[in-house]
Amino acid sequence: MSKTEIVVIGAGIAGLTSAAILSKLGLSVTLIESHTQSGGCAGTFKRKKYIFDVGATQVAGLEEGGIHSKIFKFLDVPVPEASILNPACIVDLNDGSKPIPIWYDKNEWIKEREMQFPGSRKFWQLCNLIHQSNWTFANNNPVLPIKNLWDFSQLMKALVPTNLVTGILLKSTMFDLLRICGLSNDQRLVKFLNLQLKLYSQEDVYKTAALYGSTVLQMCQQPHGLWHLKKSMQVLSDALEDSLKKTGVNIVFGQKVNSITFDDVKKIWKVGAKSKQENVDYYADDVIYTPPPQSLLNNLEHSLVRNHNYKNRIQGLPDPSGALVFYSALKKDHLKSISSNHYQIVSNKLGSLFVSISEDGDGRAPRGEITLIASLFTKTIDWFNLDKNEYIKKKKVYLQNISIALENQFDIASENWLHKELATPLGFERWTNRPNGIVGGLGQNPDIFGLFGLSSRTPFQGLWLCGDSIYPGEGTAGVSQSALMVSRQILASKGINDFYL
Ligand SMILES: Cc1cc2nc3c(=O)[nH]c(=O)nc-3n(C[C@H](O)[C@H](O)[C@H](O)COP(=O)(O)OP(=O)(O)OC[C@H]3O[C@@H](n4cnc5c(N)ncnc54)[C@H](O)[C@@H]3O)c2cc1C
Cα–chain center distance at 112: 28
CA 113 / ligand 1 centre spacing (Å): 32
Give CATH for domain 2-81+229-318+441-493. 3.50.50.60
For residue 277, give the DSSP letter.
Answer: S
Give CA–CA dist 9/25, Å, rounded. 19
CA 195 / ligand 1 centre spacing (Å): 21
For residue 233, give the DSSP letter.
Answer: T
Give CA–CA dist 382/446, Å, rounded. 27
Give CA–CA dist 252/431, Å, rounded. 17
Q: Coil, strand, or helix at residue 298? A: helix
Instruction: Say yes or no: CB of residue 32 within 6 Å of ligand 1.
Output: yes
pLDDT tens digit at each of 501 positions of the chain: 689 999 999 999 999 999 999 999 999 999 999 999 999 999 999 999 999 999 999 999 999 999 999 999 999 999 999 999 999 999 999 999 999 999 999 999 999 999 999 999 999 999 999 999 999 999 999 999 999 999 999 999 999 999 999 999 999 999 999 999 999 999 999 999 999 999 999 999 999 999 999 999 999 999 999 999 999 999 999 999 999 999 999 999 999 999 999 998 899 999 999 998 899 999 999 999 999 999 999 999 888 888 999 999 999 998 889 999 999 999 999 998 799 999 999 999 999 999 999 999 999 999 999 999 999 999 999 999 899 999 999 999 999 999 999 999 999 999 999 999 999 999 999 999 999 999 989 999 999 999 999 999 999 999 999 999 999 999 999 999 999 999 999 999 999 988 888
Instruction: Say yes or no: CB of residue 440 within 6 Å of ligand 1.
Output: yes
Give CA–CA dist 19/362, Å, rounded. 29
Question: Which among 17, 34, 41 is the best mutation to test ligand 1's pocket, defined by most ligand atoms within 8 Å of the CB?
Answer: 41
Instruction: Say yes or no: CB of residue 486 within 6 Å of ligand 1.
Output: no
Q: Coil, strand, or helix at residue 52? A: strand
- Give me the pLDDT at residue 1, please: 67
CA 52 / ligand 1 centre spacing (Å): 15
Instruction: Say yes or no: CB of residue 215 within 6 Å of ligand 1.
Output: no
Nearest CA to ligand 1 atom 14: 56
Give CA–CA dist 392/404, Å, rounded. 18
45 contacts: CB under 8 Å, gap ≥ 6:
51, 52, 54, 431
Give CA–CA dist 110/88, Å, rounded. 14
Q: DSSP of 121-182, one letter per residue?
A: HHHHHHHHHHHHHHHHHHHT----S--SHHHHHHHHHH--HHHHHHGGGTT-BHHHHHHHTT
CA 39 / ligand 1 centre spacing (Å): 7
CA 112 / ligand 1 centre spacing (Å): 33
How many CB atoms lie under 10 A from the CB of residue 386? 15
CA 426 / ligand 1 centre spacing (Å): 15
CA 199 / ligand 1 centre spacing (Å): 15
CB of 241 within 8 A of CB of 253? no
CA 183 / ligand 1 centre spacing (Å): 36
How many CB atoms lie under 10 A from the CB of residue 309? 7
Element at 114 (helix H, strand E)? helix 106-116
Question: Which among 9, 21, 290 is the best mutation to test ligand 1's pocket, defined by most ligand atoms within 8 Å of the CB?
Answer: 290
Instruction: Say yes or no: CB of residue 380 within 6 Å of ligand 1.
Output: no
At 194, the amino acid letter reads: N
Alpha helices in 61-105 (DSSP H): 67-75
Q: Coil, strand, or helix at residue 357? A: strand
Instruction: Say yes or no: CB of residue 479 within 6 Å of ligand 1.
Output: yes
Give CA–CA dist 493/266, Å, rounded. 19
Domain boundaries for CATH 3.50.50.60 within the chain: 2-81+229-318+441-493
Q: Is the dihedral of CA 75, 80, 84, 88 positive or negative?
A: negative
Element at 299 (helix H, strand E)? helix 296-299
For residue 443, give the DSSP letter.
Answer: -
Cα–chain center distance at 275: 27
Q: Which of 329, 347, 327 has the alpha carbon at shortest distance from 428? A: 327
393 contacts: CB under 8 Å, gap ≥ 6:
none
Instruction: Say yes or no: CB of residue 201 within 6 Å of ligand 1.
Output: no
